[in-house]
A and B are shown apart, each in its own frame.
Chain A
Amino acid sequence: MTAALKRAGASAAVLAAVLALNFFLFRIMPGDPITGIVDPRFSPEAKAQLAAQWGLDRPMSEQFAVYVKEMLSFRFGLSMMTGAPVWDELKRRVPNTVALLLPALALSSALGIWLGVKAALNRGSALESAVLLSGAVSFSFPSFFVQLLLLMCFAYYWRLFPLSGTTSIPPPPGGMAILDYLWHLALPLFSLVVMGFGGFALYIRNMMVKALGEEYVLMARARGLPFRRVVWNHAFRSMLPPVLTILLLSLPGVVSGAVITETVFSMNGVGRFLLEATNSHDYPSAGAAFFLLALLTVGCNLLADVAYVLVDPRARRTGARD
């Protein structure tokens, strides 16, 4: 119970920090603070309504309270680019981002874990070298460079995948639309997995090498338990908490990667919206997009915690993380 509270507290702290940062960034902009929220092109009614919504006539501390309340209720105000409510713009884009991020995360961690363990079991093999290399690659290659190369090879020269977008035009009817969507998603997803699994694999391999040298593993093997069972049930089990920590720590990076991926593959997601909003100084939209990305990170965080508790009943007592 306390563990759950602690986790919730941590998530709340992150959200609070993001909100404070947002508020701070967008209210102390050069010039009139109101231009940060209210575009001069808005009608007098819209201006008055926005001023009332954000409590612009009240002191800063009260404004912050109002701001937090409005952001948490997803009332982000009006976009300066389109004049429509920011949430209307965002909610069309959130599914694309989620559809890209969650599978990318799941696939790259699963692949990373599997290859990492394999590499640890086959020390000195070509596989191990490959894992070491892929780890180095994922830490030092710029993702957009790899993505551009992929795009050039598999969409431009060999036209296996589309160059941009998330749908064919017109969209194919019925169930085909889902296949069409997946086809558009394939290359970006692939690139995220390619750039993502190496880090996990390297880390798992290092942990597993260490774990296999531990006494309890040797003991278990001495007792004649099948090797597979020793590896997965004993050694891997013991690694779960740090593995989870690594997974959580990689989340912000994955979300950051989404911004670039959506730009390279011209996908209509929250990340690209953030870039557009930043470029056109549409502060309400930029702030809301950033908030949503942070929220997504926190959400994944909690999800991982829940998953962990399900995997390991001990965590219910001792807390999900160290």
Chain B
Amino acid sequence: MKRSNYFVCFFSVFLISVFLTSAPAAASSFDISQYSGPKMKDLYYVIIRDMDARLLAMSTGKLDVLSDIYRPVDVERLLESGTADLSLASTFHGMFVTFNTRKFPWNETVLRQAASQASERKKWTRDLFSGYCEPMTGFLPVISPFYEKETTAFPPGAEAARKRLSDAGWTWNGDGWLVAPDGRELPMTNILCPPSSVAATTTEIATLMAETLVSIGVPARAAPMDFQTMLARVDVRDFDACTNAWSMSRDPDVLYSFYHSSMDVEGGYNLSGIADPELDGILHELRYAPDEAAAREYSSRAQKMLSDLMPVIPIYSRYSISAMQTGWDGIFLTDRNTADNLLTLISMTPSEGGPRPIYWNIPEEIRTLNPLVSSSAYDWMVLGTIYDTLISVDPYTFEDMPWLAESWDISPGEKGSVLTFTLKDGLKWQDGHPLTVEDAAYSIQFIKDNSVPRFYDSVKDIESIETDVKNRRLRITMANTSYWHLHNIGGGILLLPKHILENVKDWRAWQPSNTPHKALDGSMLTELIGTGPFTFRESRTGEYVHMTRNEHYMLRTAPE
């Protein structure tokens, strides 16, 4: 488990997670061939950090899409202004309070259960988010197709929590502080959290959790600190408790990363340090499940066990709320999908008048535009429109959907799973060069050879890669069998052009957006070349990122 991966997961905004936010409903399968685009020529990612300024820009028409609205007052203002359509959807986000189970007192399961019982999730989500948030008690997002409802339900409330503790032999001393059954008093629990200037509501959650703990007799306080410092301390397990937010995916194998004892290494995802042999066994089966049936069974058993062990305390899951300027047609929106997704970006057209630029908000400064190292969710809003994966996810059914690959297959081989992808015909990079399976193979091999942290987990079990250029076929042999390999490689790895990647000397220091690159037709682009709907043109620090339509895009039918 590498650290950069882990940065991303701490951020909750992630274009792809919004994209995935649809229900596993039985709606008819989605047909991508009905979509063509992109329709608009210019796309400006407008950097506005100040929420008030964003609202003003929305109401004056200087902004078309506003994602990740987090302040309830803004929802009210946008509704009042009448110039925006709002949409709301559940997400794969989860906010947890993690306790360090490696040491007293948080190695005591009963104490963690009591803390969970005493947490007033419903009240917190109302107070902090005016209800625009879901209280969470499970270990996967409620909308995950693998979510297990039938878990142990502990009665909520501080009273019930105290009862659980006293039944287990815990007592309270004269000052009202908790004493363990063996007579030990509890040390102060510092709940590490980012400062309110960075994540105000997270700081609040830590404060509320500390108050809750004090209410059942556990000395605790919130300890806001610089985010990087906090991550560094959590990485070396120097903490009592901390807040952490994860952006999960549709697959439940994240549970392995979070709660398997082998993941409790420096920088690993198993922050709580939970190490339970039985749980380990279940998680192992889940991770290497050969088929969906096995995956379902072990995911369910894992969740039941986790709700008893309570290694971390789930708090809430965010809704994603976005606003779309009125006056656009072609918005892709379902009741489980906010409007700010890739399909909207491709197909949106003004209801009246001629073509005009799309202004899409980015709430923070762009840091690094390098697909191999970027870790900020905001950088990925830009990179997500430049780079594509082999397969994608059907926004209605959660099933796999063709993307750069038109078909695929996963079959058990002699040693491990064998994946076969067949690329669509006639694909081109944004600079006009044709995309071949050689590019795909090179990208995957490059990531594996260089152990690029962000993607390494997906590719580390690859045994060999074979290409068949003529039939556009890519064959990947894995070292072991797992149902998840298909999603991890097909949906997790971005394809980068071989002819550019070959010339990159130090991929960590690579600055593709600052390196000029000549397209086939002679025009000047940068080395930020993918297959996505928009091509990078210019980034002006603190102001905007300008992109133009990729005329070679696979869904672009005829030039207009």
Contact = CB atoms under 8 A, between A and B. Distances in A.
Asked whether the complex places CB atoms of A and B closer than 8 A, the reply is yes
Interface of A: 31, 40-43, 45-46, 81-84, 89, 92-93, 155-156, 159, 163-167, 169-170, 266-268, 272, 276, 279-281
B48 A164 contact: yes
Contacts of A40: 3
B543 interface: yes
B43 to A, nearest CB: 11
A82 B48 contact: no
Given A83-B373, A165-B543, A268-B541, A42 B511 contact: no
A280 B49 CA distance: 16
B543 A81 contact: no
B50 A164 contact: yes
B516 interface: no
Contact of A279 (B42, B57, B197, B370): B197
B368 A169 contact: no
A92 B541 contact: yes
Given A83-B368, A83-B509, A163 B541 contact: no
B53 interface: yes
A266 B49 CA distance: 7
Interface stretch (B223-231, B467-475, B495-503): B223-231
Interface residues of B, number: 41
Nearest to A268: B542
Contacts of B56: 155-156, 159, 163
A83 B508 CA distance: 8
A276 B367 CA distance: 11
Contacts of A164: 48-50, 53
A84 B511 CA distance: 8
A70 B228 CA distance: 26
A166 B48 CA distance: 11
Contacts of A268: 541-543
Contact of A163 (B53, B367, B546): B53
Given A40-B3, A167-B540, A281-B226, A266 B53 contact: yes
B44 interface: yes
22 contacts: A43-B507, A43-B508, A45-B506, A45-B508, A82-B367, A82-B368, A83-B508, A93-B541, A156-B56, A159-B56, A159-B60, A163-B52, A163-B53, A163-B56, A164-B49, A165-B542, A167-B540, A169-B62, A266-B50, A268-B543, A276-B365, A281-B229
Contacts of B373: 41, 83
B407 to A, nearest CB: 38
Interface in B211-265: 226-229, 232
Contacts of A169: 44, 46, 62, 359, 543-544
Interface string B1-30: 001100000000000000000000000000
A276 B89 CA distance: 31
A200 B334 CA distance: 61
Contacts of A31: 232
B367 A81 contact: yes
Which of A81, A164, A268, A276 gathers most chain B CB within 10 Å? A164
Given A46-B508, A279-B198, 20 more contacts: A41-B4, A43-B507, A46-B509, A81-B367, A83-B370, A83-B508, A83-B511, A84-B511, A164-B53, A165-B542, A166-B543, A167-B543, A169-B543, A170-B42, A170-B44, A266-B53, A266-B542, A276-B365, A279-B197, A281-B229
Contacts of A84: 368, 511, 514
B357 interface: yes
Contacts of B542: 93, 165-166, 266-268, 272
Contacts of B368: 82-84
B506 A41 contact: no
Nearest to A272: B542
- 8 nearest A-B residue pairs (beta carbon): A268-B542, A43-B508, A163-B53, A164-B53, A281-B228, A92-B541, A82-B367, A169-B544
Interface in B485-535: 506-509, 511, 514
Nearest to A280: B228
Nearest to B508: A43
Which of A159, A167, A169, A276 gathers most chain B CB within 10 Å? A169
A92 B542 CA distance: 10
B424 to A, nearest CB: 33
Secondary structure type dominating chain A contacts? loop
Interface in B26-43: 42
A187 B227 CA distance: 33
B228 A170 contact: no
A275 to B, nearest CB: 9
A92 B50 CA distance: 21
A87 to B, nearest CB: 13
Contacts of A165: 48, 542-543
B508 A42 contact: yes
Contacts of A156: 52, 56
Contacts of A166: 542-543
A169 B358 CA distance: 11
A144 to B, nearest CB: 13
A42 B506 CA distance: 11
A268 B57 CA distance: 18
B371 to A, nearest CB: 13
Nearest to A43: B508
A43 B52 contact: no
Contacts of B228: 280-281
A169 B357 CA distance: 10
B422 to A, nearest CB: 35
A89 B368 CA distance: 11
Contacts of A167: 540, 543
A166 B542 CA distance: 9
A304 B48 CA distance: 37
A89 B541 CA distance: 9
Nearest to A35: B232
A272 B232 CA distance: 25
Interface in B354-411: 357, 359, 365, 367-368, 370, 373
B382 to A, nearest CB: 14
Contact of A43 (B3, B226, B506, B541): B506
A281 B229 CA distance: 8
A280 B506 contact: no
Contacts of B226: 279-281
Contact of B506 (A46, A92, A93): A46
Contacts of A281: 226, 228-229
A281 B227 CA distance: 9
Nearest to B42: A170
Given A46-B508, A83-B373, A170 B546 contact: yes
Nearest to B56: A163
B38 to A, nearest CB: 18
A281 B225 CA distance: 11
B466 to A, nearest CB: 30
A95 B48 CA distance: 20
Contacts of B507: 43
Nearest to B509: A46
B357 A170 contact: yes
A281 B197 CA distance: 14
Contacts of B543: 165-167, 169, 268
Contact of A266 (B48, B198, B229, B544): B48
B115 to A, nearest CB: 30
A42 B3 CA distance: 12
Contacts of B57: 163
A291 B557 CA distance: 54
A156 B57 CA distance: 10
Contacts of B370: 83
A314 to B, nearest CB: 46
B489 to A, nearest CB: 24
Nearest to A46: B509
Contacts of B60: 159
